[in-house]
Amino acid sequence: MNKRKNIKRIAVFTSGGDAPGMNAAVRAVTRAALAHKLEVYGIRRGYQGMIENDFVKLEASDVSGIMHLGGTFLQTARSKDFRTYEGRKKAFESLKSHQIDAVVVIGGDGSFAGALAFTHEFDMPFVGIPGTIDNDMYGTDYTIGYDTALNTVVEAVDKIKDTASSHGRIFFIEVMGHEAGALALKAGLACGAEVTFVPEIQEEEVELDKFLAKDYKNKKRSGIIMVAEGDRAGGALKLAEQVQQKHPEIDVRVTILGHIQRGGSPTANDRVAATQMGVAAVNALLDDQKSVMVGLKNDKIVHVPLSKVVKTNRDFDAELLYIQRLINSAY
């Protein structure tokens, strides 16, 4: 690794929606940079904090005891100001006032799009770490926070299944995922859902009709329907309303899990992945790379150009949906 001689001080921040494991990533970035004799600054409140010069110097002790905490101790925010050139110029001036030579951003594709635009305009090296519970980033098998969110959903639905079975009810469970159904799909498979609705597939209303017409009336007294919030059918509330109108005899309930999916202590998988990618991000900067995301492919670190990450959609794993349909067709 050829150390980039002009990098003496880096900044790290979290951006967009929070995800369990972000603190572990900040910790890894900070300690890896300090091990390489670099100075580290944390930026509070994402790009908005960058614009408003909300910086804090980080030492090894500052990131002790945060690895197991959910959320992000640097806080995060969505910034309308950063979408303008004037806002990005203020952010650049803030970075230069602290003599920042390179930046690590932990977030999703929106955060990376901002980093890419910033780098083109001001030639500031940015390296991204994928942090989103949706697990929908191109170029990496895994995003920080996904495993924790998945386990949170499974734990909640397991409890809901108890009451669904006791009362013979059908529960429509809505999970996060505006544009991606990875969380809903794996949660549905892990929870034994009868049908899972995701934004990428449109045919699941047919599967729901099959379940209601045959499985529910003839053999089952309860059921779980998993719904990603961005599903084209309109979400759990709309689907449940349609079912209730068609089948007034069925006891239908809706549970929207909401922001509990973002919180909680990160799982071991999220902590390890965050640490791997945090160290890799610092190494990438020292290796003179910029405008790349560090990710994991087959448990190995990879570097993916941010231009590809923000322009390319990750392939949807339809095989898992096929497996769910096959298992449920056995009734």
Which positions are catalytic? 134
> How far is residue 238's CA from residue 244's CA, in Å, rounded to a whole number?
10
The secondary structure of residue 247, as a DSSP letter, is -
On whether the CB atoms of residues 233 and 180 are closer than 8 A, the answer is no
CA distances from 322 to 92, 135, 157, 327 (A): 48, 20, 21, 9
Write the CB contacts of 97 (distance below 8 Å, at least 6 apart in sequence): 53
> How far is residue 239's CA from residue 251's CA, in Å, rounded to a whole number?
14
CA distances from 51 to 55, 96, 104, 236 (A): 10, 12, 16, 38
Break the chain down into helix, strand, coil percent, rounded to 5.
45, 20, 35
Q: Helix crossing, 22-35 with 268-286: angle to 10°?
A: 40
Q: Which amino acid, residue 264?
A: G
